[in-house]
Each structure stands twice: as C-alpha cells, then as structure tokens.
Amino acid sequence: MHLADRINRIEVSATLAVSAEAEKYKSQGVDVVDFGPGEPDFPTPEHIKQAAIRAIEQNFSKYTAVGGILPLRKAIVEWHRAQLGSNYEPTESIACTGGKHALFNAMHALISAGDEVLIPAPYWVTFPDIVKYAGGTPVILPTRAEEGFQLTAAAVEQALTPRTRMLIVNSPNNPSGAVVPPGEFARIFAACKQRGVWLLSDECYSHFTYGDARPFSAASIADSKPHVIIIGSLSKTFAMTGWRLGYVLAPKPLVDAVAKLQSQSTSNPNSITQHAAIAALTGSMAPAAAMLAEYARRRARILAGLREIPGVTCAEPQGAFYVFPNVARLLRPDTAPDTLALARRLLERAHIAVVPGDAFGMTGYIRISYATSMERIEEGLRRLARFFQAAATTAP
C-alpha cells in the first residue's frame, strides 16, 4: 500500500512492541517476568476514582473546551506552582490526552522542515519519532554511563548549531533514571536562551526522585518562561496511565497553537478524566509518596541483584522507575549480537521481558522497569542470573 511519506519516517514504539510480544507469551499461559512496562503497577488512588464515578453520575459526558475545563487548567497551574515553583496562568496551560499527546502537539506547533532538535541519549523512544513526523531532524547527543548519563551545559553548547530549534531534556530520564541537578539545569537553560533555542522539559517523572535529588521543574528557573515548554503528565505521578491526561505549560501563543491543533484533531481530553484529574491535583500527595517509597526499596534491590551478575554493570538511577544496565560483555556474535536479539532471547528462553537499549539510542544496554512487585523482581533476578550464567558457559 502506498502510504504517506511522513508515516514511513517513523517506527512503532519499541516499548509497546515489547509489551505486545510479552502479551503473546502470557496469553499462552507462560509465566513471564515483565520488566517492560513504563507504568506504575499501583492502582489509581481511591479519591481519584471516586471523583470520576461522581462525574459519570452527574453526566459530565459532553464535549468540553478543547484545552480542558477552566477548573482543570487552574488545578494544573496551581499544583505546578505549589509543587515545582512555577508561575503560570491557566491561559498558559492546556490539558491534552496524555503527556505523549502534549509532546506531539507542542512539537508540531513549533518544528518546521529542516529544524534540528537536540535529543540527549539515551532518550525516550518517542522523542526522535515525533521530531521526524513533524519534518524536523533529530540530532542525538550521547551521554556516558561512567558519568551517570549526566547531561551537561558544556555538551549542549558544543552540540548547538544555527539550525537547532529545540533541546529536549527529560529529567528524571527514561530509560537511564538520570536527574539533571538544578544548577546544571540553569546552565543548560542559559545556553539555550543565549542561542534562541527552546528548552522542552519533559517532567513526567518529576515526583520520582531518590537520594539527594528532589522534584524540580525548568519552569522554576528565573525568567525562563519565554523560552521553556513544560510537558507534564498525571500518568506516573498519580498512577493514571490509562486515563490519558497530560499538559503543556508554555507562553500563551504556543498554548493557543496547541489548542488549534487539538481543535482539529482530538478535541478535548476525556471529560470524565478531567474531573478525576482535578481530584488528583487538588488532593493529597500521600499516594505518590507511598509509591516513591516502594520504588526506592525496589531500586535498591534490583541494583544490588544486577551488580551481582558477572559482566553486568549498572549506573545508579536517581529518578523514575527504570535501571539501564550495560550488558555489552554478555552479547554473543552467534546468538545475541545486539540487545534486540538479546531481548528476544531473554523472552524466549528465560521468559523475561526487557526493552533493548538500541530503542533508546544506546547499544549494549537493556532497560528494566521496576514498576513490578518485589516478588517478581526477585524471580526476574534469579532468571537473569541463570540465563547469563548459562550464556557465559556456552560462549564460543
């Protein structure tokens, strides 16, 4: 079939492809340890569910304003102000159908053919594909595991060109868990501002930070508003992946452009979800704190377990709920020459689902999500250790 050029420029999301493959095994009754999912394994908190039930009962089932009802936009900016020190008006916010949708629309409102978008690697799989779909050129800026995958202002400065339109920073990072410290973030912002480059900050994991790292928004940097686009999502913070609610915070002309695009595509985000989102944003943050405490326990366990496997090295993630171990020494030219083949083999032989690092722009790594129970983590670690031990003894 002859499809449009733009659709041929992109791939099916690798993370979704992994879940589909794992699902096949599960549907055949195979006990898969699923380290694939990029979503909390916790249920949506009760008060949020109840708000949605009330919204259904009260018939909030009509179209709403394209960018979400005003109480929701107020709740978004107020939550963001209180939690992350920003200073937006409701007119500088727009609710979208998930953070991915928010990203898609903001990038399509800004990127033209020939624009370069600087994307630090490892990166969330979707960033380069959205850039390509918008007609832009992703320019990948690798970070180093030995430096904890840290993005630095010096590296950004070197990579900026006259064609750079935007830098995407995703801190905490999916897949590496790296967190950009506030001082470095301010220097990165200054480099962008000086060169007239938009700083798009994907803060979907803002509230999952460990150790000394704290929730932080680029919007709290002084005088950043004219140059910064914030992408937020309720998916991870409030365990609401399926509800689909994300947002853009940005200067009003950009928000209006996003609203225009939304008005001709998806229209408003789900009306029931909007009421649930208000309850989430105006309610207690205790459920998010409880999830964080559990993730912290799992992070410690999985890090220790992985580091015990000969040949595996793993930087300590400072945020999100992923580890990104280096398994390059365990690749084998005949059976698993790259992490794509390794992931396939792990699923076939050990019934473990992971996402190959190649999907995130890094060869030699796999992404393991610890948004799964401690018991499954223990089982997964046992299987990984066994698998790699067997692979080592059958090495050519």
Binding interface with ligand PLP (CB under 6 A): 38, 98-100, 124, 170, 174, 202, 204, 233, 235, 241, 246
Strand partners, 118: 139, 167
CB of 175 vs ligand PLP, minimal distance in Å: 8
The residue type of 319 is: G
> Do residues 231 and 198 touch, judged by C-beta distance below 8 A?
no
**Closest to ligand PLP by CB, 13 or 137:** 13
CA 94 to chain centre: 19
**Closest to ligand PLP by CB, 21 or 378:** 21
Distance separating alpha carbons of residues 126 and 122, to the nearest angstrom: 12
**Closest to ligand PLP by CB, 219 or 350:** 219
Distance separating alpha carbons of residues 286 and 284, to the nearest angstrom: 5
**Closest to ligand PLP by CB, 201 or 326:** 201
CB of 38 vs ligand PLP, minimal distance in Å: 4
**Closest to ligand PLP by CB, 336 or 369:** 369
CB of 141 vs ligand PLP, minimal distance in Å: 16
Name residue, tokens 């979707």. Answer: 126
Per DSSP (E only), the strands in the chain are 33-34, 93-96, 116-121, 137-142, 164-170, 198-202, 228-233, 246-249, 322-323, 352-353, 355-356, 366-369
CB of 176 vs ligand PLP, minimal distance in Å: 11
Distance separating alpha carbons of residues 38 and 115, to the nearest angstrom: 29
3-state secondary structure of 228: strand
CB of 242 vs ligand PLP, minimal distance in Å: 9
CB of 4 vs ligand PLP, minimal distance in Å: 24
Query: Which residue's beta carbon is nearest to the bound ligand PLP?
Result: 99
Six token digits for residue 243: 């509800």
**Closest to ligand PLP by CB, 86 or 235:** 235
CB of 305 vs ligand PLP, minimal distance in Å: 23
The runs of H, that is alpha helices, within 138-206 are: 153-159, 182-194
Burial of 162 (C-beta count, 10 Å sphere; 0-12/13-18/19+): exposed
**Closest to ligand PLP by CB, 305 or 356:** 356
Six token digits for residue 33: 């340890």
CB of 198 vs ligand PLP, minimal distance in Å: 17
**Closest to ligand PLP by CB, 100 or 227:** 100
CB of 101 vs ligand PLP, minimal distance in Å: 6
Strand partners, 255: none
Distance separating alpha carbons of residues 126 and 119, to the nearest angstrom: 11
> Do residues 18 and 343 touch, judged by C-beta distance below 8 A?
yes
**Closest to ligand PLP by CB, 108 or 351:** 108
